[in-house]
Structure 1
Amino acid sequence: METLDRANPDTWPFIMQLKEFMWVSGYGKNKALELVQSGELPAKKVRGTWLISKDALLRWLEG
C-alpha cells in the first residue's frame, strides 16, 4: 500500500478492498466495517471481501 497516496486519489485503485480503504481514510477496522455494513459507505461484498469503488468513495467523501 506504499503506492497509495492518501492525499492523491489518482493513486487509488478503481476498486479497493477494505484494507485499502482503511489505509486511505485512516479509519480502523471496526469503523470501516460499520460504514460498509450499514450502507453508509457504498460497497459490495463479493466472496467474503468488501469492495469499494473509487467513484463511490469520492462521492461519499464529498457528502
Structure 2
Amino acid sequence: MHQFDLSNAQWHASSYSNGDGGNCVEVTDTVPGLVPVRDSKLGTDGPVLTFPSRTWTHFLGLLRG
C-alpha cells in the first residue's frame, strides 16, 4: 500500500454536493496518474480512496451514460 502526502492538496467538491456540508465527495489531482477521493463528512483527515486515473475516467463515463 502506498502512502501519499495529501496535506497540502487542493480538494474539489463534486458538482452534485449540496451547499450545507453534507453529501460531499471531493477529489484532488495532486498525485500523477491517480485520483484520490474522500468524503468530507468524515473530516479532512478521514480515509481516502485512490483510483487509477483511467479507472476514474471510465467510472465517470458510466455515470454520465
**TM-score greater than 0.5 by the shorter chain:** no
**Higher Cα radius of gyration:** 2
Higher RCO by CA contacts (8 Å cutoff, separation 6 or greater): 1
**Higher helix fraction (1 or 2):** 1
User: What TM-score, normalized to structure 1?
Assistant: 0.31
**Higher strand fraction (1 or 2):** 2
